[in-house]
Amino acid sequence: MESQTLSAEEYPLLDQSGLPRFGEIGPEDVEPAVRQLLEELGTELEALEASVPRGYEPIIGPLEAIHDRLALSWGIVGHLMGVQNSDALREAHDAVQSEVVAFGLRLGQSQELYRGLVALREGPDFEALTPVEKRVVEGLIREATHAGVALEGAEQARFQTLAQELAQLATQFSQNVLEATRTFARVVSDPAQMEGTPETLREITAQSARSSGEPDASSAHGPWRLTLDAPSLVPYLEHGPDRSVREELYRAHVSKASAGAIDNAPLIDRILILRREMAELLGYANYAELSLASKMAPDSDAVKALLEKLRLASFSAAQDDLEEIQRFAHARDQLQPETFRPWDVAYYAERVREARFDYSEEDLRPYFPFDRVLEGLFGLAKRLFDVEIEPADGEAAVWHPDVRFFRVRDHIGRAIAFFYLDAYSRPGEKRGGAWMDECVGRSRRLSPVGEEARRPVAYLVCNQTPPVQGQPALMSFSEIETLFHEFGHGLQHMLTRVDEGLASGIRNIEWDAVELPSQFMENWCIDRRTLSEISGHVVTGEQFPDDLFEKIRRAQTFRSASAMLRQLEFALTDLFLHGEYLPGKGRTPFDVRSEIAERTSVLAPLPEDRFLCGFGHIFAGGYAAGYYSYKWAEVLSADAFGAFEEAGLENEKEVKALGLRFRESVLAQGGSRAPMDVFVDFRGRSPQPEALLRHSGLLDELPGGPIAS
């Protein structure tokens, strides 16, 4: 019996005529819609292979269309998995994930397309291609090689099995972390245990208690429900007066997803084993070599040299940081250094900062209502990049009532891009952290009728403190930095001028360069003019006071060495696990982390610390053997911002000129050129480390020799 063709009207996942029809897409639609799409794409791929195409457009045109159709529909499913997770959606996703992976492998391992691309690269017409077209061809050949196109017989079959299992393990890892976060709660009833905590914390934890069966819970009298979600966890670790509650929360956080049915430890071992085998099949010594083959960094030695120089610049200063807060803890509460524990660090660090700089993080929140911050951020985009951002709520369906939709216009008023903004934390259905992803990318080839190119649309997702009891959402400074960070990613996606869809926006950018625009935008949070424009007291409307600005400016380097070491620990652990580490040879990944912590942590982690079980970046995300990218790109971003500092942040003419140059290089060119060439276009030279270490207050500790090249 012939199967019935599903209509896009009935199954909106198949509707690729416009923006996703959120609200109409249910978990029950996923399996039939995705399976039909895969069948259609399989037919298109067979037709393309049968023609053995030659030339750039005959190959790239159909190939982009296939990639795009799959990315649009499956991307919606993946997006909803992150922002509107449910048991039914997870089941539907898991039911077809292996089929999606299988099709991706089939596409990547197409011998006919690979031969066509290689023939194009080696043929007489290659030199006539534009630089971006050449880069697209080279990138596709590399991707095909890494997808196992050169493997044959049993090796290719094994590679496919590995890829299928790795995709399933990544999904399971992420789901286990979400489940662990959803199920943990510590209910506090004694007001003394909440004394001195921020009002915003008391409000959101009382709201959480009400939603969990305590209808009379109030911010003043409790009970308060503490969770592992960041807006709850972090403020209590920083301000919670009850040491035993801090300990319980901290231990739950570092042991998340490490026991019972949701234990990620066995998944970590299996993931590392499979990745190493996959790399060896492709001819690499380990997965780190495979990962770095498509990065900006030339090799592992260059990465290790960067990380080691940053470690040497940070370690003694981080020791001083720890000794200072230990002395404070002893003087104030008679806490001996030998009994000082990890759950004391954030609490006493915050007390030291309050004493030294005479303000607390919570003192800042009233100055940063979310709407005001957003208005100021859009004003900065106008000032630097000459774009207007305006609300377009109601013009696109959304997946939650809190989600906003915005339009981006260029200097002559043309709509050039759009983005969704999902700002608030929703424990239980929305995964933690923050991210930017593409809904659709810019493409000349896939442009709607009458348009020069298809306009890009981005998803910007954060997990900041939500509004409570009808009050405006008030942002912490770290939440503002996160918003600026994700907005920077979004700008690179939305302000691209590249018409070639496979290299526009954030596509085709080396992973260790992709954080450049996001980290660059964070620097503006401490610019005096920007801070004034994103602030307005929730009650009085007063802009951020000069004396308070001076305090936070001086506090910018407070414990920056400790923060640097923390990132270096994660990066080195990631690199070692995917490089030298041999699974099953007597040591566990947790042993590796502990050994690296001896060189990167001035306060040893607990023996039972299982942080790796929640480290989704490297085990369920795109940062495997690439977590170092944050620091690699931070060298680039700090140096890029250094150009503005050298010109003078008060020199409006120069700031505008540099902003447009940054737009036309880093933001506009995206994956069309090598990132070093793009950086040099903007900065006029290769990147230097001094700006990063100067921003961190560590310039005097810099060892000799270059860091980035």
pLDDT digits (tens, 9 = 90+) for 77-121: 999 999 999 999 999 999 999 999 999 999 999 999 999 999 999
Q: For residues 455 and 229, give the distance between their C-alpha atoms in angstroms, rounded to a whole number.
A: 35
Neighbouring C-beta atoms of residue 358, cutoff 10 Å:
12
- Taking only the tens place, the pLDDT of each residue in 30-43 is 999 999 999 999 99
Q: How many residues comprise the chain?
A: 709
Q: In the chain, what are the domain boundaries? A: 12-150, 184-255, 370-557
Q: What is the mean pLDDT of residues 159-186?
A: 95
Return the SS3 of 443.
strand
486 tagged catalytic: yes
Contact 205, 226 (CB under 8 A): yes
- Taking only the tens place, the pLDDT of each residue in 385-420 is 999 999 999 999 999 999 999 999 999 999 999 999
Return the SS3 of 256.
coil
Evaluate if residue 703 carries a pLDDT over 80.
no
Neighbouring C-beta atoms of residue 265, cutoff 10 Å:
16
- pLDDT class for 599, splitting at 50, 70, 90? very high
Evaluate if residue 2 carries a pLDDT over 80.
no
Q: Which CATH class is domain 12-150?
A: mainly alpha
CA angle 353–561–641, rounded 5-degree value: 95
79 half-sphere exposure, CB direction, 13 A CA radius: 26
pLDDT at 670: 86
Evaluate if residue 237 carries a pLDDT over 60.
yes
Contact 33, 6 (CB under 8 A): yes
- Taking only the tens place, the pLDDT of each residue in 49-70 is 998 778 999 999 999 999 999 9
**Residue with token string 């061809």:** 137
Contact 307, 572 (CB under 8 A): yes
The helix (H) or strand (E) run that includes residue 683 is helix 675-683
Mean pLDDT of the chain: 94
> Residue 474: phi, psi to the nearest 5?
-110, 130
Per mean pLDDT, which range of 3-7, 13-17, 667-671 is the poorest?
A: 3-7
Contact 577, 272 (CB under 8 A): yes
Select the more confidently predicted residue: 51 or 176: 176
pLDDT at 1: 39
**Residue with token string 């909803």:** 80
pLDDT at 3: 60
569 half-sphere exposure, CB direction, 13 A CA radius: 27
Strand partners, 567: none
Q: For residues 390 and 409, give the distance between their C-alpha atoms in angstroms, rounded to a whole number.
A: 8
- pLDDT class for 700, splitting at 50, 70, 90? confident
Return the SS3 of 117.
helix
The helices-and-strands tally (H runs, E runs) of the chain is: 27, 7
- Which CATH number is 370-557's, of 3.40.50.150, 1.10.1370.40, 1.10.3210.10, 3.50.50.60? 1.10.1370.40
**And the tokens for 350?**
């915050």
pLDDT at 433: 87
pLDDT at 709: 36
- Of 147, 149, 174, give the one whose Cα is nearest residue 162: 147
The active-site residue out of 203, 438, 479, 486 is: 486
**And the tokens for 645?**
């500092």
Evaluate if residue 470 carries a pLDDT over 90.
no
Question: What end-to-end distance do the CA atoms of the chain give, in Å?
Answer: 62
Strand partners, 418: 407, 457
Select the more confidently predicted residue: 230 or 34: 34
pLDDT at 708: 42
**And the tokens for 708?**
């980035």
Q: What is the mean pLDDT of residues 351-365?
A: 91
pLDDT at 706: 42
Neighbouring residues of 179: CB distance < 8 A, sequence distance ≥ 6: 257, 262
